A and B are shown apart, each in its own frame.
Chain A
């Protein structure tokens, strides 16, 4: 279910966050770790997955809807529609595969520029799989410089080793909370396009 009913107060804000990056970099694992605290060997994402989590940050109750997209090129026609309305975008690469880092500049940042509809949307580069230290191909410095050059936050994580995953999401949310225009864009219309305001009836319970 989308939220834990009854336990949480009404959220002050609802943010839409999108995870993008090449196939197999660990997008679904990061989301699973953040949303449930667990880790398991995951299968590829077909299409788009979605999880919601309510967090308390900066004295606010924030509901996050996090969209996890398939990495394969062909799915981009589908995922492009999910950029709309996102206040936060997480670009993930695998530190043990340099080509997944190269894709951030070659593909994913371009996609963000092309499809994102929210000015001042917060971008974050996440370097995942730091537990595989011996196989590392992309150094921390290279990652940091890249993120800085493109105006992105930067965090190194290990979804498997449970390193800095929560921190990454929290940093992103705090940055969104500091950006007034993003707070204004937070509403229930975090979907793919503006929703009709008409109340949807659920006569058929």
Chain B
């Protein structure tokens, strides 16, 4: 909808230019990941063959690991907590991407999708869990990247970075992150935001209508693979909260329908929940991506949270940071990191004050054996504290790096 000033060159020549630029970037050494992310986010990657080469690079998983095939097969075969749900979801998936296929072809693709999902979340102790909706993202990866191994590698990386808040054992972190949609919408369309708040509709209290957009990167709601792939170009290049910025600009694009609901809060909820994207006459995926990126530049998540005094305890995505040109997400949310820091401080204090009084009261009978035990305990405490301090330093560094905002 928003047209930048100046005449636009025809699509074809712009695409050719993009392909040339990306090809050049891919052979350059050292790789300029930042530039690659910028091109992918703002111009889009034009074709699936180009995406198949660039997407893994954006996440740093372009090189197959030694013995990957064997690990993949073993993980795909091993069961996990949600194996049944995966089976159930895959069985009713891929309808929109397999129009005109035979049942056998579709069944084969579904079997591949199931292997990718089971391998991505299975056989690991990193606390990554399957959620309904991850299969929508996996399907896009499988179709665009073309190979199970590439899809598996990419999905596994996403599950512990961009999708980290969604792959936790419950929905707490994802819900908290999702709640940032309202402040983002307020920046994007204050009037519409004011209208929704004024409705005081309980069903709109948390923007759950946008849950599937956020958790599936719109793959659950948009049937066109080409359009979805263009949005994925943006998401893979950007801060993990970028889907919320796309959601905000998409809602703004449908504002008339929402406002037409008047005082009927449930109708507004229903309109938002059933909102159609990327229809003829609506902004294209390319336009949505550009508008969302511009909105992000204007108010990045951490700045927004600071301005509004929003404290997120369970979300790790809010603290995503750039390192070596790529987006990373802390393994633990802020609350867990603070707990860790507090424990370290307590340990240090205990160490400096000496042992607790219980030990002192027994001190009369203390012999050499007890003394050496105590020395060992002190050494252990020092070691733990030093490790803790190092970890805190690393966290601090990570936070500082988070000052670098993408997709720039």
Is the interface on chain B under 10, 10 to 19, 20 to 34, or 35 or more residues?
A: 35 or more
Residues on B with beta carbons closer than 8 Å to the beta carbon of A71: 85, 132
In contact, B200 and A198 (Cβ under 8 angstroms)? yes
Chain B, Cβ-Cβ closest to A3: B267
Q: Is B406 close to A, CB under 8 A? A: no
Contact A201/B198 with A1-B270, A44-B89 known, Cβ cut-off 8 Å = yes
When each residue 386-403 of chain B gets 1 if its CB lies under 8 Å from chain A and 0 otherwise, what string results?
000000000000000000
Q: A44-B88, A201-B198 are in contact. List 6 more A-B contacts (CB 8 A).
A: A24-B92, A42-B92, A72-B85, A77-B172, A202-B261, A202-B263
Give 10 nearest A-B pairs by CB, closest first: A191-B202, A192-B202, A46-B212, A47-B211, A24-B88, A202-B262, A2-B267, A46-B133, A44-B132, A72-B132
In contact, B131 and A204 (Cβ under 8 angstroms)? no
Binds B, one of A48-56, A150-158, A168-176: A48-56
Shortest beta-carbon distance from A162 to chain B in Å: 19
Contact A52/B92 with A2-B264, A78-B175 known, Cβ cut-off 8 Å = no
Residues on B with beta carbons closer than 8 Å to the beta carbon of A202: 195, 198, 259, 261-263
Rounded to whole angstroms, the CA-CA distance of A200 and B191 in the bound complex is: 14
Shortest beta-carbon distance from A157 to chain B in Å: 19
Rounded to whole angstroms, the CA-CA distance of A2 and B89 in the bound complex is: 28
Residues on A with beta carbons closer than 8 Å to the beta carbon of B269: 50
Q: Is B186 close to A, CB under 8 A? A: no
In contact, B259 and A205 (Cβ under 8 angstroms)? yes
Residues on A with beta carbons closer than 8 Å to the beta carbon of B211: 46-47, 78
Rounded to whole angstroms, the CA-CA distance of A204 and B258 in the bound complex is: 11
In contact, B203 and A191 (Cβ under 8 angstroms)? yes
Shortest beta-carbon distance from A115 to chain B in Å: 14
Rounded to whole angstroms, the CA-CA distance of A191 and B266 in the bound complex is: 8
Shortest beta-carbon distance from A61 to chain B in Å: 17
Q: How many A-B residue pairs have CB under 8 A?
A: 110
Rounded to whole angstroms, the CA-CA distance of A115 and B195 in the bound complex is: 30
In contact, B260 and A205 (Cβ under 8 angstroms)? yes
Is the interface on chain A under 10, 10 to 19, 20 to 34, or 35 or more residues?
A: 35 or more
- Interface set, chain B 152-199, CB cutoff 8 A to A: 169-172, 175, 191, 194-195, 198-199
In contact, A191 and B265 (Cβ under 8 angstroms)? yes
In contact, A49 and B273 (Cβ under 8 angstroms)? yes
Contact A200/B265 with A43-B93, A52-B270, A195-B202 known, Cβ cut-off 8 Å = yes
Choice from B131, B194, B201 contacting A72 with Cβ under 8 Å: B131
Contact A41/B92 with A46-B215, A52-B266 known, Cβ cut-off 8 Å = yes
Shortest beta-carbon distance from B357 to chain A in Å: 43
Chain B, Cβ-Cβ closest to A84: B202
Contact A74/B212 with A50-B269, A65-B266 known, Cβ cut-off 8 Å = no
Name 19 interchain pairs, CB-CB below 8 A, sorted by A.
A23-B84, A24-B91, A24-B92, A41-B92, A44-B135, A50-B266, A71-B85, A72-B82, A74-B131, A74-B169, A74-B170, A192-B202, A195-B202, A199-B263, A200-B199, A201-B198, A202-B198, A202-B262, A204-B195
Residues on B with beta carbons closer than 8 Å to the beta carbon of A24: 88-89, 91-92
Rounded to whole angstroms, the CA-CA distance of A77 and B266 in the bound complex is: 21
In contact, B212 and A50 (Cβ under 8 angstroms)? no
Chain A, Cβ-Cβ closest to B194: A204
When each residue 1-19 of chain A gets 1 if its CB lies under 8 Å from chain B and 0 otherwise, what string results?
1100000000000000000
Q: Is B38 close to A, CB under 8 A? A: no
Q: Is B296 close to A, CB under 8 A? A: no
In contact, A23 and B89 (Cβ under 8 angstroms)? yes
In contact, B208 and A78 (Cβ under 8 angstroms)? yes
When each residue 133-167 of chain A gets 1 if its CB lies under 8 Å from chain B and 0 otherwise, what string results?
00000000000000000000000000000000000
Q: Is A182 close to B, CB under 8 A? A: no
Residues on B with beta carbons closer than 8 Å to the beta carbon of A195: 200-202
Give A contacts to B, CB under 8 Å: 1-2, 23-24, 41-50, 52, 65, 70-72, 74-75, 77-78, 99, 191-193, 195-196, 198-202, 204-205
In contact, B92 and A43 (Cβ under 8 angstroms)? yes
Residues on A with beta carbons closer than 8 Å to the beta carbon of B129: 74
In contact, A74 and B171 (Cβ under 8 angstroms)? yes
Rounded to whole angstroms, the CA-CA distance of A192 and B201 in the bound complex is: 9
Residue with the greatest number of chain B CB neighbours at <10 A, chosen from A24, A47, A196 = A47
In contact, A75 and B259 (Cβ under 8 angstroms)? no
Chain B, Cβ-Cβ closest to A99: B84
Shortest beta-carbon distance from B225 to chain A in Å: 15
Contact A70/B175 with A50-B273, A201-B263, A205-B260 known, Cβ cut-off 8 Å = no
Residues on B with beta carbons closer than 8 Å to the beta carbon of A46: 132-133, 211-212, 215-216, 220
Residues on B with beta carbons closer than 8 Å to the beta carbon of A41: 92, 95
Rounded to whole angstroms, the CA-CA distance of A2 and B270 in the bound complex is: 7
